[in-house]
Amino acid sequence: MEYVTATPTDARPTDAPALLDAPLGPLDGRYRAAVAPLAEHLSEAALNRERVRVEVEWLIHLTQTGAVPGLRRLTDDETARLRAVVATFDASSVAEIAATERVTLHDVKAVEYFVKKRMEGTSLADLGEIVHLFCTSEDVNNLAYALMVKGAVEQVWLPAASALVDDVAAMAREHAGAAMLARTHGQPATPTTLGKELAVLAHRLRRQLRRIGRAEYLGKINGATGTFSAHVAGAPATDWPQVSRTFVEQLGLTWNPLTTQIESHDWQAELYADVARFNRILHNLATDVWTYISLGYFAQVRGQGTVGSSTMPHKVNPIRFENAEANLEVSNALLDVLASTLVTSRMQRDLTDSSMQRNVGTAFGHSLLAIDNARKGLAGLDVDAAALARDLDATWEVLGEAVQSVMRVHGLDQPYERLKELTRGRRVDAAAMREFVLGLGLPDDVQQRLLDLTPGTYTGIAADLVTYLDR
């Protein structure tokens, strides 16, 4: 039997235009503007730029340290010329490397040839074969990826995530005293304040940011199986671990002395797990805010030029929070698989990490897009104080906890059971609750304290707890 594989054009009318240049994914299409800053760090072009940086800096390092006997030192002009190769790296550089790779069928070799070509016909020509000396491809790649991810996290993702948390914290402070009916298990429960609940989320998110801010970015440059074998064969008297360490640390990374051919990627797994945890807490914020919107606690009154529903003109859908949820789920699916697979490599090397790491940008892109959506969603909210008050006034039974606690303190019989009989499965209004309190025989001052209590004032020190965000 003959099997025929359809081509991409088989389903198109013969006169239909080809869409081969159209973006395949949403991050490079409709959402490009929101995630564009990440391309500077986590794109294929950025990977090649950082590979070039590593090759250039390694050459400079070898000459500066005297690691190779007889290797001359570079002049200041030559060092500047080499670093200019990185500084001027652009779209034409990307295209040139891609063209070379079509011949070499090896990406890092194409980068090596790119650097060597810039040295031809200059005073650096005699050092052409020092480019990539003692290196396996993974020596270059692991450092390039560490630089890329470090730059993306510290310069793009963390600032955006921190700004979001600052927004949530500001809302928490603004509404610290806004009494709100709590719902445990979805049921009316001891009142809280809207600000305190937002402060909980801001505190949780900020804690994850501190962990991410302390992340280590590890790197190695020790040869084909991590033994410095070629290094020792070429220059046996050199302290290669010291040369390696100073080079990695010079790049702003943490040196890993014990590796196989690859740097073990454990730091990546740790970082991605922390980012995924931040994402999950943000997902919790999105679902909670969505629910508060559905309860009427938040009014989406800003940006009235938008269309909420294509057929129901009264609607303003909470799409920013729904989009955030979806993008957080995509991000976490990728971050989870990256964290779980990158820590494993068969014996001294397999190539699964190469394909996996190419998805790091997509994982961070969907997280960054979710952060952008959440910030825009929060900026479009106004608190409906009347809705908060209506729900509180309709649930006087939540004072049952307060009343039975006071009864316990003053030694009255069966306080829990008596309040259970009054409140379980029924609505209690102000009159019924006050009538119950008046019949308890409590001391006058205690009785008055309970009579003055309302669902709106039964919030403990919730408003004060918000100040812990600033401690």
**What are the catalytic residues?**
185, 309
Task: For CA atoms 444, 446, 447, 451, give the dihedral sign.
Answer: positive
Rounded to 5 degrees, φ, ψ at 6 are -70, 145
- The phi, psi pair for 255, rounded to 5°, reads -75, 135
Which tokens go with 388?
């908060």
Block residue for tokens 């929101």: 34
Q: Are 321 and 294 in contact (CB under 8 A)?
A: no
Give me Rg for the CA atoms of the chain. 31
Q: Which residue has the tokens 């010079």?
A: 250
Which tokens in the block code for residue 21? Answer: 């240049």
Residue at token pair 């074998």: 229
Residue 219's φ and ψ, nearest 5 degrees, are -150, 160
Are 216 and 256 spatial neighbours (Cβ–Cβ below 8 Å)? no
Q: How far apart are the first and last CA of the chain?
A: 74
Measured CA to CA, the distance from residue 247 to residue 377 in angstroms comes to 45
Enter the DSSP assignment of 153: I
Distance CA 74, CA 85 (A): 15
Per the DSSP assignment, residues forming a β-bridge with 254 are: 218
Record the tokens describing residue 54, joined without a space. Answer: 């590593």
Listed in sequence order, the residues at least 6 apart from 204 whose beta carbon sits closer than 8 Å to its beta carbon are: 281
Query: Which residues on neighbouring strands pair with residue 255, listed in sequence order?
Result: 219
Taking the C-alpha atoms of residue 143 and residue 233, their distance in angstroms, rounded to an integer, is: 23
